[in-house]
């Protein structure tokens, strides 16, 4: 059985959404949906503070993206190309 790689998302708050409020809402959603991120870290980007969050599968990532679309700009991070022989 092949192991699936975690699905990572990069997110930044939209202008009208304070980061602390968004993080509290995310924590409440994760708890209520019983979703446990594989990884979570705060990142600094050109436009300000944001975070990277990784989920076990695409379904969890998509549910997160749908739920927080009004508060976050969420993207899949660029992945390096791997040359295959």
Task: Give the pLDDT confidence score for residue 16 in this predicted structure.
Answer: 76
CATH number corresponding to 14-75: 3.30.70
pTM metric for this prediction? 0.77
Q: Provide the strand spans (E) within the chain.
A: 7-13, 39-45, 48-55, 72-75
Name 48's bridge partners: 45
Distance CA 17, CA 14 (A): 5
Domain ranges, ordered by start, for the chain: 14-75
Q: What is the pLDDT along the chain (85 residues), one digit of tens a residue?
A: 445 688 999 888 887 778 889 999 999 999 999 999 999 999 887 777 889 999 999 999 999 999 999 888 888 765 544 444 4
């Amino acid at each position: 059985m092949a192991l699936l790689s975690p699905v990572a998302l990069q997110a930044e708050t939209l202008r009208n959404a304070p980061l602390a409020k968004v993080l509290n809402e995310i924590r409440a959603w994760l708890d209520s949906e019983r979703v446990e991120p594989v990884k979570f870290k705060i990142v600094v980007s050109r436009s300000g503070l944001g975070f990277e969050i990784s989920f076990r599968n695409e379904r969890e990532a998509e549910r997160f993206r749908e739920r927080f679309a009004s508060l976050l700009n969420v993207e899949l991070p660029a992945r390096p190309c791997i040359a295959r022989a």
